[in-house]
Structure 1
Amino acid sequence: MKSLVNTAGLNEDQKMVREAVLEILEATLPKEEIRRIDEVKEFPLAAYQALAESGFLGLFFEEQYGGAGASYKDLTNFMETLGYHYAGIGQAVMITTIYAGGHVSKFGSEELKARIIPGIIDGTIKMALAMSEPGTGSDVAGLKTKAVKQDGGYVLNGTKVWISGAHMADYLVVIAKTDPTAERHQGLSTFLVDAKSLGVSINPLSMLGRRTTHANEVVFEDVFVPEENRIGEEGKTWKNLMKGLAMERLGLAAISAGNCYRITEDAAEYAQQRIQFDQPISKFQVIQHKLVDMWIMAEQARQATYRVAELLDAGDAAIEETSVAKIIATENNFKVSDIGLQVFGGSGYAMEYDMQMYFRDSRVGPIGGGTNEIQKNILAKRMGL
């Protein structure tokens, strides 16, 4: 059926990017391939490399390192398009370019940027952000991984968990405590760690959804990191983490918004084909209203997300709007998949249909990237509560 995504407000270049990205993904990651890699928990490597070879990963980075220096709206359009085709490819791109690569591009030395960013752009370097720990998920300031300074670098010890994409990473961006005596939000530093370094162990975890970029446990045992691989100033990571949150949450919202449309279209197409009581179920008002509710939620997610992009492009910090967009888009993504599963009925619960995958994949949205409860804590503070 015709796409329900309204591209009004996008300029001609952005519409061309959308068309080109979808053409690449339809060729390298068709529906049957998505089902296969979800089943076997395989990274969408062919699609990822095709996007890199076409230059799309350069959107995230400055021109001096081979990037395109794209606007936030350009990035939102790109990430929404990925999420529309398949949330897993959006996640795969985001892990390297935003979660991990963002630390290098924003806070790395010139030498580090020149060494790493071109490889991210051409797809030869994949990365992952190792931040969460078994006892500190939302409580990042309480992390226990330590980096002890020694001649020429640091020695890392600790365990990270829920680290998406670590099994595919060439490098890990690791947040560690360099000053154990510092207050909670102080004494944190960021390091670029070669994933093949002696003492690094990466253990895949079995998760409900997002199987193609699945989570991992990462253990560091006396891992040496050269001093030139420290990202930013020692002990100043908390401030840098806060600066990077807008793009991370914008990316999550954009992927979720795009995915809302895909789910709605699939449900509408099924409803038009499914015959009950001698007519398509799409003729029943109760089903029509469900589909309209899904479309409304997709539009809500999209509008909240693009509002953030416009504010960021205008130089606004968009703190409240970013948290609002993340909440709306990720929660709507799950609600849309839940309604879609109901529209499919018994077929929605069957593994041979994609709706169960949408349902599984969307559930992590309100949890990852700063839980939606944490987003509400941020908003409560902004309200002066």
Structure 2
Amino acid sequence: MPLFNDFGFTDEQKMMRQSLLKLAERALPPAKIRELDRTDGWPTEAYRALAKDGWLGLPYPTEYGGLGGGYKDIAILLETLSYHYACFGTTYMTSVIYAGLQLLHSDSEGLRQDYMVPMIKGDLYLAFALTEPQTGSDAASIKTYARADGPDYVVNGQKWFITSAHVADYLVLVVKTDPDVRPAHSGFSMLLVDTRAPGVSIKPIETMGRHTTHTNQIFFDNVRVPGRNLIGAKNGAWKALMRGLNLERMCIAACGAGNAQKAVEIAQDYATQRIQFGQPISRFQVIAHKLADMRIKAEMARLVTYRTAEMMDAGADARMETAIAKIVATDNDFECAHIGMQVMGGAGYSMEHDMQRLFRDSRLGPIGGGSNEIQRNIITKLMGL
């Protein structure tokens, strides 16, 4: 673990990271990771282990069975899980961060008790559904519509690129409830939708990487949702979405930082053992400099992630910093895997070694969670440009 220093961590955070590493190594060994990647499986046993040890409650208040952790604690957890396996971090993030926290910040104690608390215990898994086929970066243009019908809502539409929806019990679904209001995002609401409800159809999307937490398309055909499953105020979802997306960027950065460190470790181990012309290839300056570049990039991903998390813990306005962290960490993650592939040559390109998986999995980072081009739009707007 070449970059896993713990400078600036509390004793509790150091213990947390060691505990999480041991859990990951025990519940999700390398052979199992390769099997899941090959078969598009889902890390059920490892996720249950996280639930059993109470980690699903890290960002939640103690009165709901949580641990009351802060943003830096979340960053440490996600960096650690993603260092072990990128999709392990995403598995956690999807239900606990993206979907579950929307329930925490809603005004419904019933939803918190009936769905959030079981989610913390590991009895329910949630997914978050915002993106649509024609509305990726332009989130304000979603078309999935929920029409009020007596005490219920009736939902019609389609969602696209929804992570882990295929294993979710419920979806936190973003819909239009007022299609005529301007600006359009003033008519957004969130509903908690049972994935087993009549009219819900979930189909996998085949992708280059992230085979474990693969993405899905979801169709809604006159799906009836109880009115009590409205999350927050009707037509008031946009503000909650913006709060959630800001945290999402920091979390994606933490995952990128973890995966980047794994790429450094794999490449360094290979280069010190691969003998060419009578010596390890790490002795050749051209390879040593590539490894140094990888370490610089991975360390920068860590630094920007933790600085951002500390700002958020302090209550500072970190909108620009979360966008910067997301760009730096995900770009550097992919570049580390890309350089690592070159260091390993044909071995890195072969399915026998893990570098090809890190390369495939890391490519999503600059695209998902608001593309890095969109993050630059956010930065320039905050700069007043």
Indicate whether the TM-score tops 0.5. yes
Matched, 1:207 2:207: yes
Where do 1:8-19 residues align within 5 Å?
8-19=7-18
State the Cα distance separating 1:295 from its structure 2 match. Answer: 0.6
Q: Which amino acid aligns with 2:73?
A: D
Q: Which residue of 1 aligns with 2:192?
A: 192
State the Cα distance separating 1:107 from its structure 2 match. Answer: 2.0
Q: Aligned equivalents of 1:338 and 1:206: distance in 2?
A: 22
Q: Which residue of 1 aligns with 2:34?
A: 35
Where do 1:89-108 residues align within 5 Å?
89-108=88-107
Q: What are structure 1's unaligned runs of at least 5 residues?
A: none
Q: Which residue of 1 aligns with 2:83?
A: 84
State the Cα distance separating 1:4 from its structure 2 match. Answer: 2.7
Q: Which residue of 2 aligns with 1:220?
A: 220
Q: Which residue of 1 aligns with 2:280?
A: 280
- % identity of equivalent residues: 51
Q: Which amino acid aligns with 2:17?
A: R
Q: Deviations over 1:9-42 (max 9, x none)?
A: 1111111111111101101111111111000000
State the TM-score, normalized to the length of structure 2: 0.98
Q: Which residue of 2 aligns with 1:259?
A: 259
Q: Aligned equivalents of 2:286 and 2:280: distance in 1?
A: 12
Q: Which residue of 2 aligns with 1:362?
A: 362
Q: Which amino acid aligns with 2:49?
A: A
The SS at the match of 2:202 is strand
State the Cα distance separating 1:163 from its structure 2 match. Answer: 0.5
Report if the CA contact (8 A) 2:3-2:299 is conserved: no
Q: Aligned equivalents of 2:162 and 2:339: distance in 1?
A: 30
Q: Which amino acid aligns with 1:42?
A: G
State the Cα distance separating 1:245 from its structure 2 match. Answer: 1.8
The SS at the match of 1:233 is coil
Q: Which amino acid aligns with 1:123?
A: G
Report if the CA contact (8 A) 2:199-2:221 is conserved: yes
The SS at the match of 1:162 is strand
The SS at the match of 1:185 is helix
Q: Deviations over 1:261-281 (max 9, x none)?
A: 111011000001111111110
User: How many aligned positions are there?
Assistant: 384
Q: Which amino acid aligns with 1:358?
A: L
The SS at the match of 1:212 is coil
State the Cα distance separating 1:337 from its structure 2 match. Answer: 0.3
Q: Which residue of 2 aligns with 1:54?
A: 53
Q: Aligned equivalents of 1:175 and 1:147: distance in 2?
A: 9
Q: Aligned equivalents of 1:294 and 1:107: distance in 2?
A: 42
State the TM-score, normalized to the length of structure 1: 0.98
Where do 1:125-144 residues align within 5 Å?
125-144=124-143
Q: Deviations over 1:240-283 (max 9, x none)?
A: 11111222111100011011111101100000111111111011
Q: Which residue of 1 aligns with 2:66?
A: 67
Matched, 1:295 2:281: no
Report if the CA contact (8 A) 2:40-2:211 is conserved: yes
Alignment root-mean-square deviation, CA: 0.9
Q: Which residue of 2 aligns with 1:173?
A: 172
Q: Aligned equivalents of 2:340 and 2:107: distance in 1?
A: 43
State the Cα distance separating 1:108 from its structure 2 match. Answer: 4.6
Q: Which residue of 2 aligns with 1:351?
A: 351
Q: Which residue of 2 aligns with 1:250?
A: 250
State the Cα distance separating 1:6 from its structure 2 match. Answer: 1.5
Q: Aligned equivalents of 2:284 and 2:5: distance in 1?
A: 25
Moved over 2 A (4+): none
Q: Which residue of 2 aligns with 1:153?
A: 152
Q: What are structure 2's unaligned runs of at least 5 residues?
A: none
The SS at the match of 1:366 is coil
Q: Which residue of 2 aligns with 1:121?
A: 120
Q: Aligned equivalents of 1:3 and 1:124: distance in 2?
A: 36
Q: Aligned equivalents of 1:236 and 1:343: distance in 2?
A: 50
Matched, 1:163 2:162: yes
Q: Which amino acid aligns with 1:198?
A: P
State the Cα distance separating 1:121 from its structure 2 match. Answer: 1.3
Q: Aligned equivalents of 1:290 and 1:5: distance in 2?
A: 19
Report if the CA contact (8 A) 1:61-1:117 is conserved: no
Q: Aligned equivalents of 1:46 and 1:60: distance in 2?
A: 22
Matched, 1:241 2:232: no
Q: Which residue of 2 aligns with 1:333?
A: 333
Q: Which amino acid aligns with 1:220?
A: F
Q: Aligned equivalents of 1:192 and 1:118: distance in 2?
A: 14
Report if the CA contact (8 A) 1:134-1:160 is conserved: yes
Q: Aligned equivalents of 2:104 and 2:252: distance in 1?
A: 19
The SS at the match of 2:189 is strand
Distance 1:187 1:264, change over 3 A: same
